[in-house]
Amino acid sequence: MTIVLGLTGGIASGKSTVSKMIRELGIRVIDADVIAREVVEIGKPAYQQIVETFGLDILLDNGEINRGKLGEIIFSSEQKRLQLNEIVHPAIRLEMLKQIEDEKRKHSNAVVLDIPLLFESKLTYLVDKTILVYVDEETQLKRLMQRNGFSEEEAVLRIQSQMPLTEKRLLADELINNNGTIEETKKQLHDILSYIIH
């Protein structure tokens, strides 16, 4: 039986690092962000809907969606963010389900869905167990400012647009505390996987 794991975290909590560790172990990771980019490519149904909803102003000269511009629109308006989610999420879910089925056909031990907004988007029904990568608030803010070159205000806005990590911790089946070293994180991951998969 293929176990489907949901990997999540907050922005700048180190989820991508853990995702990479999982790949290195030979477990397939289905990345919601990658799929989210693919489903809005020119010619895809979601692309058309986004342009109809948000207008031609959000397009680059080559016709692709200007992610930065669209990001500004949805980060400043809850209603617009919900509109975008209603277009994109169903397309992402469909693609994820297809890829999960691929792994089940191959009789893989496990497959991991890397979904930043696993709890917010109410997608836990897609997985058997959830793993949350978390850091404390101070670390999250510092890492986000360093990584993206955001001002403190910009970073706080991005963090506040997500469910707080403290709330996510209560919802997750397994926790990886990523405040320490890479080695400590890796050990927590290995412990969780060996307990779940074997």
As a whole-number percent, the residues of the chain with pLDDT over 70 amount to: 99
Cα–Cα distance measured from residue 94 to residue 107, given in angstroms and rounded to the nearest whole number:
20
pLDDT of residue 142: 95
Q: Please, what is the average pLDDT of the chain? A: 94
One domain, residues 138 and 126: yes
Q: Are residues 116 and 21 in the same domain?
A: yes
What mean pLDDT do residues 162-175 have? 94
Residue 13, marked binder: yes
Q: Render pLDDT for 18-29 as a digit per residue (tens, 0 to 9).
A: 999 999 999 999
Q: What is the pLDDT of residues 86-111, one digit of tens each?
A: 999 899 999 999 999 999 999 999 99
Same domain, 121 and 95: no
Q: What's the chain look like in SS3? A: CCEEEEEEECCCCCHHHHHHHHHHCCCEEEEHHHHHHHCCCCCCHHHHHHHHHHCHHHECCCCCECHHHHHHHHHCCHHHHHHHHHHHHHHHHHHHHHHHHHHHHCCCCEEEEECCCCCCCCCHHHCCEEEEEECCHHHHHHHHHHHHCCCHHHHHHHHHCCCCHHHHHHHCCEEEECCCCHHHHHHHHHHHHHHHHC
Examine the domain organization and report whether 117 and 179 are in the same domain. yes
pLDDT of 120 above 90 = no
CA dist 9 → 12, 92, 119 (Å): 8, 18, 10
What CATH number should be reported for the domain holding residue 55?
Answer: 3.40.50.300
Predicted local distance difference test score (pLDDT) of residue 155 = 94
Quote the pLDDT of residue 38. 94
Predicted pLDDT at 19: 97
Residues 23 and 118 in one domain: yes
| pLDDT for residue 99 | 96
pLDDT interval class at 32 (50, 70, 90): very high
* Residues 116 and 182 occupy one common structural domain: yes
**Does the annotation place 110 within a ligand binding site?**
no
| Residue 161 annotated as lining a ligand binding site | no
14 annotated binding-site participant: yes
How many Å apart are CA 165 and CA 171, to the nearest integer?
A: 10
Query: pLDDT tens digit string along 126-144?
Result: 999 999 999 999 999 999 9
Residues 4 and 48 in one domain: no
| Residue 12 is labelled as binding a ligand | yes
17 shares its domain with 42: no
How does 18-31 read in b/e, with b if 16+ C-beta sit within 10 Å? bbebbeeeebbbbb
Q: What pLDDT is recorded for position 197? A: 87
Is 16 annotated among the ligand-binding residues?
A: yes
| Residue of 127, 133, 139 whose CA lies nearest to 186 | 133
Range of the domain at 100: 35-107
Last residue of a domain, one of 81, 107, 133: 107
Looking at the fold, whether 19 and 62 belong to one and the same domain comes out as: no
d(CA 95, CA 39): 9
Has residue 161 got a pLDDT over 90? no
**Residue 198 above 80 pLDDT?**
no
Provide the domain count of the chain: 2
- Of 79, 107, 135, the residue that ends a domain is 107
How far is 24 from 110, CA to CA, in rounded Å? Answer: 14
User: Predicted confidence band at 48 (pLDDT cuts at 50, 70, 90)?
Assistant: very high
115 with 146, same domain: the answer is yes
Closest CA to 114 of 2, 1, 14: 14
**pTM over the 0.75 mark:** yes
| Domain-terminating residue out of 107, 137, 152 | 107
* 23 & 116 share domain: yes
pLDDT tier at 162 (50, 70, 90 boundaries)?
confident
Give the per-residue pLDDT at 117: 87
